[in-house]
Amino acid sequence: VLDALVADLAADPPARRLVVLTDDVVAPLYADRFVRRVRRRGLSACLIVFPHGESHKNRRTKGWLEDRMLELNVGRDAAVVALGGGVTGDLAGFVAATWHRGIPVVQVPTSLLAMADAALGGKTAVDLPGGKNLVGAFHQPWGLYADTRVLETLDERTYRDGFAEVVKAGAIGDLRFFRWLESHAEALLERDPVRLEQAIGACLRIKGGVVVRDETEHGLRALLNFGHTIGHALEAVSRYRTTHGRAVSIGMIVESVLAVRRVGFPEPHAERLRALIETFGLPVRYRGRMAPEAIVRATRRDKKVRDGRVRYALPRRLGSALPGSDVTIEIDDAEVRSALAAVN
| Cβ 319 to its own copies shortest distance, Å | 27
- Which among 54, 217, 235, 255 is annotated as catalytic? 217
Query: Residue 51, Cβ neighbours under 10 Å: how many?
Result: 11
- 82-105 exposure pattern, b = at least 16 Cβ within 10 A, e = fewer: bbbbbbbbbbbbbbbbebeeebbb
Cβ-proximal residues to 222 (8 Å cutoff; 6+ apart), any chain: 304, 311, 313, 326, 327, 328
**Of residues 300 and 337, the one with the C-beta less far from its own copies:** 300
Q: Is 70 in the site for its own copies (CB under 8 A)?
A: yes
**Of residues 98 and 198, the one with the C-beta less far from its own copies:** 98
- Which among 123, 168, 246, 269 is annotated as catalytic? 123
Q: Is 63 in the site for its own copies (CB under 8 A)?
A: yes
Q: Is 308 in the site for its own copies (CB under 8 A)?
A: yes
Q: What is the DSSP string of 238-257?
A: TTT-S-HHHHHHHHHHHHHH
Closest alpha carbon to 255 in 174, 316, 169: 316
Rounded distance between C-alpha atoms, residue 42 and residue 311, angstroms: 51
Q: Is 41 in the site for its own copies (CB under 8 A)?
A: no
User: How far apart are the two ends of the chain, measured CA to CA in Å?
Assistant: 43
- Which among 37, 139, 168, 221 is annotated as catalytic? 221
**Of residues 33 and 100, the one with the C-beta less far from its own copies:** 100
Q: Is 46 in the site for its own copies (CB under 8 A)?
A: no
Kindly determine how many residues on this chain lie close enough to bind its own copies according to the rule CB under 8 A. 39
| Cβ 171 to its own copies shortest distance, Å | 24
Q: CB under 8 A: which stretch of 134-142, 190-198, 256-264, 278-286 binds its own copies?
A: 134-142
Q: Is 305 in the site for its own copies (CB under 8 A)?
A: yes
Q: Is 123 a catalytic residue?
A: yes
Q: Is 207 a catalytic residue?
A: yes
Q: How far is CA 81 from CA 18, 19, 131, 215, in A?
A: 7, 6, 26, 22
Q: Is 218 a catalytic residue?
A: no
Rounded distance between C-alpha atoms, residue 160 and residue 155, angstroms: 9
Contact pick of 304, 316, 317, 337 for its own copies (by CB under 8 A): 304
| Cβ 301 to its own copies shortest distance, Å | 7
- Which among 37, 160, 195, 232 is annotated as catalytic? 232
Q: Which residues ranging from 71 to 90 are in contact with its own copies (CB under 8 A)?
A: 73, 75-77
Rounded distance between C-alpha atoms, residue 80 and residue 245, angstroms: 26
Rounded distance between C-alpha atoms, residue 169 and residue 155, angstroms: 23
Contact by Cβ (8 Å): 204, 116: yes
Q: Which residues are catalytic?
A: 101, 123, 165, 207, 217, 221, 225, 228, 232, 244
Contact residues toward its own copies (CB under 8 A) are: 16, 59, 63, 66-67, 70, 73, 75-77, 94, 97-102, 123-125, 128, 130-131, 133-138, 216-217, 300-301, 303-308
